[in-house]
A and B are shown apart, each in its own frame.
Chain A
């Protein structure tokens, strides 16, 4: 009965996420543009390196937009997991002084990142328009893909946030993991550049699946997806993996949540 206060906490998630977003961009003069600067800068550098130096881009139609979309999606994953990871530890004062479901803090941090992703995708749309790329008829499916991405990212975030309360070196460990994951995901390189057997392993990752699916429905149907690399029952693995990750993350988080107030 202790937790029977049947409030609707979606209002709180919204309030916290908007506040975070507002504060993040209020402080700097360029506001939101500043947050866009980071992925754009990475995009610029990689574009020069891979089209001028390694001539990688030639293999793919509309490589610049293709690359940009990949980077924007990847940036969301990294920023969301990193900001959510410290969402519990960073709000210690709040947690020690007031009761509300702790998951609200982590989810609202993920939502803040989601708002940024949404704005960044608008920028991608503008690039697409100027590059003359027309999205496929499947483009409304992008909404479903982003829901899947949000669920996957929240699952990872919940796991990291709970772990970070106990172990403060999780931040460094995750940094290394994320770096490895970046290269293990076909963001820079087209899937066709890796041997088939390796490609099949790579595509088991839900992140690779989401990025490749997005590229398929928005930019070019030539790109490899789970459907072109894996056969029927196996190609459902990445989709279900997103939900499995969320369930595991959620379960671990809720198991630990009641002790956060004492441990922080």
Chain B
């Protein structure tokens, strides 16, 4: 590659095909006995015609669902797998590892592990001696440096591994889900370190499914889906595409799972809840919503005669927390013989990211006894695009500066 093209990694139409044999001859004996039998295998295409470039000094993210091929791609870039076709070029020294702490031996002390792990990453003893103090300082483990690695907590292990990785002096750093471990303090320290890396003109390629990290730190993001590039561009667009992808996948999954849905306990068959649905603003049935969308609960009630009833429901988060309840208590609603329809419309759904379910009941307003109850009538999922809001409920509020006059 020419000097200063500004390109750190060039992936050129890379494909990876895995051959999964139907019977694997794990022994020489079996292989010898089956020399003449036809070998059959299933071909699995993990990556198809992947091509992209990563510029120097870029923080490049790769996202996608499990099994989309993102780890395979990273392994090909690192040289661990050979691509079936296509090739990868890079300019600059690449870190050949994907996970923190590879090559560490639990029986050795932290000090010995720095030298062992470091040389596996391609550093010479001299280089390691030169940066030893900095590694120890960054890991904050100076007092434990002669302790056996196996006695370290997992957080301490990650700290040491990350410190070593950072000081491995590669110009291109490849990282697969590194930030899954370690406390949030250390995570933010690591990400800051990545930023420093970037400023030095070094390149970081991070594979993750944490949208938050991608949006906050990446310059450019690539979304993979079933081994193909689905979208590549700025974090915001790609992450939105990823969320929508997840939403529609989730929708079809829940739909498949649910036959009729709900656990029914009916006390009076003369009055029953026959169908419960969740609709969106255009009356389509959906199970995955975004915060702020119109959310309509539609209930079908069958009654054998005309009467007045009380209807109610509740939204429960999937860890069992009661989020909200609503009912017609005190203002009984009329039903006539046959099918009756009622809807409960939430104009702007105030729920944030999470899994929830809906309980619906007809009850007796004096005794509070259930006439009919459908628990988990519908399970639904909420995705949220809103930054800086945590928890389950969206608060509509603004910050305001108050000036104080003397």
Interface residue ranges, A against B (CB under 8 Å) = 1-3, 5, 7-8, 11-12, 15-16, 19, 23, 26-27, 93-100, 163, 166-170, 173, 258-259, 261-262
B103 within 8 A of A: yes
CB-defined contacts of A96 to chain B, threshold 8 Å: 75, 80
Residue of A nearest to B94 (CB): A5
Cα–Cα, bound, A3→B25 (Å): 31
Candidates A5, A19, A170, A173; contact of B122 at CB < 8 Å: A5
Q: Is B125 touching A98 in the complex (CB atoms < 8 A)?
A: no
Cα–Cα, bound, A100→B117 (Å): 12
Q: Is A15 touching B121 in the complex (CB atoms < 8 A)?
A: no
Residue of A nearest to B82 (CB): A258
Cα–Cα, bound, A8→B127 (Å): 12
Q: Is B119 touching A2 in the complex (CB atoms < 8 A)?
A: no
Q: Is B94 touching A98 in the complex (CB atoms < 8 A)?
A: no
Q: Which of B78-106 contact A (CB under 8 A)?
A: 78-82, 87-90, 93-94, 96-99, 102-103, 105
Tell me the smallest distance from the CB of B288 to a CB of chain A, in Å.
Answer: 35
Q: Is A11 touching B124 in the complex (CB atoms < 8 A)?
A: yes
CB-defined contacts of A5 to chain B, threshold 8 Å: 93-94, 96, 122
B27 within 8 A of A: yes
Q: Is A15 touching B81 in the complex (CB atoms < 8 A)?
A: no
B28 within 8 A of A: yes
Cα–Cα, bound, A8→B124 (Å): 8
Q: Is A15 touching B97 in the complex (CB atoms < 8 A)?
A: no
Q: Is B88 touching A2 in the complex (CB atoms < 8 A)?
A: yes
Candidates A7, A15, A261; contact of B80 at CB < 8 Å: A261
Residue picked from A7, A16, A23, A173, most chain B C-beta under 10 Å: A7
CB-defined contacts of B102 to chain A, threshold 8 Å: 93-94, 97-98
CB-defined contacts of A23 to chain B, threshold 8 Å: 105, 107-108
A5-B93, A19-B105, A100-B96 given; A167·B31 CB < 8 A: yes
Cα–Cα, bound, A190→B87 (Å): 58
Cα–Cα, bound, A7→B96 (Å): 12
CB-defined contacts of A168 to chain B, threshold 8 Å: 26-27
Residue of A nearest to B118 (CB): A15
Cα–Cα, bound, A19→B116 (Å): 8
Candidates A16, A169, A259; contact of B27 at CB < 8 Å: A169
For the complex with contacts A99-B97, A262-B18, 5 further pairs of A-B residues with Cβ separation under 8 Å are A2-B87, A97-B98, A98-B96, A167-B28, A262-B81
Q: Is A2 touching B103 in the complex (CB atoms < 8 A)?
A: no
Residue picked from B78, B96, B108, B112, most chain A C-beta under 10 Å: B96
Q: Is A98 touching B90 in the complex (CB atoms < 8 A)?
A: no
Query: What are 30 A-B contacts with C-beta separation under 8 Å?
Result: A1-B90, A2-B87, A2-B89, A5-B96, A7-B124, A8-B124, A11-B119, A11-B124, A12-B122, A15-B119, A16-B116, A19-B105, A19-B116, A93-B102, A94-B103, A94-B120, A97-B102, A98-B78, A98-B103, A98-B120, A100-B122, A163-B28, A166-B31, A167-B26, A167-B27, A167-B28, A167-B31, A168-B27, A261-B75, A262-B18
Cα–Cα, bound, A99→B31 (Å): 29
CB-defined contacts of B107 to chain A, threshold 8 Å: 23, 26-27
Shortest 7 CB-CB distances between A and B: which pairs? A99-B96, A99-B79, A98-B97, A169-B27, A167-B28, A7-B122, A15-B119
Tell me the smallest distance from the CB of A142 to a CB of chain B, in Å.
Answer: 29
CB-defined contacts of B119 to chain A, threshold 8 Å: 11-12, 15-16
CB-defined contacts of A166 to chain B, threshold 8 Å: 26, 31
CB-defined contacts of A261 to chain B, threshold 8 Å: 75, 80-81
Residue of A nearest to B27 (CB): A169
Cα–Cα, bound, A2→B93 (Å): 10
Tell me the smallest distance from the CB of A256 to a CB of chain B, in Å.
Answer: 12
B115 within 8 A of A: yes
Cα–Cα, bound, A259→B87 (Å): 16
Residue of B nearest to A9 (CB): B122
Tell me the smallest distance from the CB of B130 to a CB of chain A, in Å.
Answer: 14
B35 within 8 A of A: no
Residue of A nearest to B98 (CB): A97
A97-B99, A170-B28 given; A11·B90 CB < 8 A: no
